[in-house]
Structure 1
Amino acid sequence: MRATLLLACVFALPIMGRADDAVLPDKLEVTAGLSRTSQSLVHGVLITFENEPTLNVNYETAQGFASVQNGVGVWLVRDELFKAGLSVNYMMGRQEKADVRYSGMGNVAGSAMSYVWAEWQPIKDAITLYGNAGNSWHSGSGTLVQWGATIGFPLINQVNGFVDVSRYWANQRYVQTYYGVTQSQSQASHYGAFNAHMSGTLYANAQMGVAIELDRDIDLIASFGRSTASSMLMESPLLNQKSQTLSALVLSRRFP
């Protein structure tokens, strides 16, 4: 049910010290579809949320993992209810041509980043706590963090519902790079200059949806919700609306 809509992590939890004699099998899962998002696989970070293709290929073995979402890395912890990993991942850039709000602002290059993630199910298949943090290898791009929680519940037959809430946080350097306006950018874009003066929350997201089990290995997942920009982020002249729609329709396929 979690697929790539509801991704990873909580840090420094007591369960990390728990031993688990069971060896988890290798795992391969592919999720693909459409989502209305500000994180475009094609165009990078957007101001105006757009309907974009979404894809996650997730492969796990006892030694490590590789996925579009979590990068390529090794396990810190891996058992049935708690996973944590350390990896090399990709921090999205942005493209001036991708969003009219970027007119005159120029591009921001994407970069490799050090990445840590985890997810914990205190109640299996019912409650998931997750989070991740990435620090760019490019000194100007900064740090981006996400955390959240998902609650799942049965509806009818092979249909389950879920509610997911999450937040994105960034340090001052990230906010300045992606949402700040320098004097030269101000002249080219006609926005007023804006210098980010603090770290803080970027967006608070809330969504609900359904997961339909088509067969033992295939799920159809649909969700709808809202993403609300923080007061700090709304100080940037790049933003022109505080709340935008989130949605997704994806097919998830597990391979035995």
Structure 2
Amino acid sequence: MNLRLISTAAACLLLPSLALAADDSQFLLGGGVAAGARYSGSKQNTVAPLILLDYSHASGFFASTMRGIGYGGQQGPLSYSAALGYRGERKEKNEKGVFGNTGSAELKGMGDIKGSASAMLSLGYKPVSMLELNVSADVPLSQRENGKNFHAGVTAQLLDAPNDQLSLSAAAGFADSKYAQTYYGVTAKQATTSNFKAYQAKSGLYEANLMLSWQHKIDQKWSVTTMLGANHLLREASRSPLTQRKTSPTGAVYVSYAY
């Protein structure tokens, strides 16, 4: 299951809450469940455990199961972060793991796509306090043949109360030629070993997504976060023979405790 949309939305909620004093730090521990398509374009859904471990220091350093390991900061209306993360694998069989299914039998003959270490870069700009424009990049450092993807979006803070934060995010995704071919293309060799026709996927706009996120603070330590969204494949991705469903739901709910 692709958790990028959930991770991005979670990061938007985590960052504002970590206004730490100099030399201070905070650790969040949480758990819940996440749901989404088994792979991008799949008609099958899967549910998996969601584990949140998030450490932040006032210096800007963070280590998180949602955000990776890196550094972030804010200068006036500008925010930025650079992190080392992990892009999950895609299996050609229905293989159950600790964090849910990692593939589908319907991909038989397509071969596995290996997971990769990735540089996750983001930049945000707030023209007004309740609105943020953002761009991000996922650049593989290993398995570079998997390709890069980029996203541009906007997040609107619909509610910013002492105990409740409600936000709505929308974004568009762009793929380079390697990413498009890896996740949505079918090579001539794959066509001979699978049930799919050969398909050359080109670079460009490939998805749009929407996510509504609500974080409710029970007290100073405990909070509950709920997310509900959808991902819609476009252009080359939507025409891929691997795509059985253009629009798929995404959701998550988890409880966290702040140390």
Structure 2 length-normalised TM = 0.76
Q: Is 2:174–2:206's contact at 8 Å kept on the other side of the alignment?
A: yes
Matched, 1:74 2:92: no
1:107 aligns with 2:106: no
The count of aligned residue pairs is 233
Runs of 5+ unmatched residues, structure 1? 10-21
The one of 221, 226, 232 aligned to 2:230:
226
| Residues 133-212 of structure 1: pairs in structure 2 closer than 5 A | 133-137=137-141, 138-154=143-159, 158-196=163-201, 198-212=202-216
| Equivalent residue number for residue 48 of structure 2 | 52
Q: Say whether the 8 Å CA contact 2:9–2:213 is kept in structure 1.
A: no
| Structure 2 CA distance for aligned equivalents of residues 128 and 31 of structure 1 | 26
Compared CA separation, residues 78 and 58, structure 1 to 2 (3 A): farther
Classify 1:240/1:188 alpha carbon distance in 2 versus 1 (closer, same or farther; 3 Å): same
3-state DSSP class of the match of 1:216? coil
Deviating more after overlay: 150-159 vs 222-231 = 150-159
Cα distance in 2 for partners of 1:159, 1:139 equals: 41
Counting only pairs closer than 5 Å after superposition, residues 28-39 of structure 1 correspond to structure 2 as 28-38=27-37
Q: Which amino acid letter does the alignment assign opposite residue 67 of structure 1?
A: S
Alpha-carbon distance in structure 1 between the residues aligned to 2:78 and 2:28 = 18
Whether contact under 8 Å (2:125, 2:133) holds in the other structure is yes
Q: Distance in 1 between matches of 2:8 and 2:252?
A: 8
Instruction: Give the aligned partner of residue 14 of structure 1.
Output: none
CA contact 1:8–1:119 (8 Å) conserved in 2: no
Structure 1 residue 214 and structure 2 residue 210: aligned?
no
**Distance of aligned partners of 1:128 and 1:252 in 2 relative to their CA distance in 1, 3 Å threshold:** farther
1:53-106 Cα shifts (integer Å, max 9, x gaps): 22332222216222223322234x445865322232222221112223312211
| Partner AA of 2:64 in structure 1 | S
Q: Quick one: percent identity of the two aligned structures? A: 22
Match for 1:142: what amino acid?
A: G
Ranges in structure 2 where 5+ consecutive residues have no aligned partner: 1-5, 13-20, 94-102
Structure 1-normalised TM-score? 0.77
**1:6 and 2:14 correspond:** no
CA distance in 2, matches of 1:103, 1:60: 42
Give distance in 1, aligned partners of 2:118 and 2:131. Answer: 29
CA deviation profile, 1:93-131 (whole Å, cap 9, x unmatched): 21112223312211011112223124455555x334434
Secondary structure of the corresponding residue to residue 6 of structure 1: helix
Deviation, 1:159, is 4.1
Code of the residue aligned with 2:67 in structure 1: it is: N
CA distance in 2, matches of 1:25, 1:79: 19
Q: Is the 8 A contact 1:46 1:99 kept in 2?
A: no
1:85 to 64, 81, 93: 81
- Which of the residues 125, 133, 136 maps onto 1:132? 136
Distance in structure 2 (CA, Å) of the matches to 1:116 and 1:47: 25
Q: What's 1:13 paired with?
A: none
Q: Within the alignment, does 1:253 sit opposite 2:257 as a pair?
A: yes
8 A Cα contact 1:65 1:73, kept in partner: yes
CA distance 1:155–1:115, change in 2 (3 Å): closer
Deviation at 1:149, TM superposition (A): 2.5
Quick check: 1:24–1:79 contact (8 Å CA) kept in 2? no
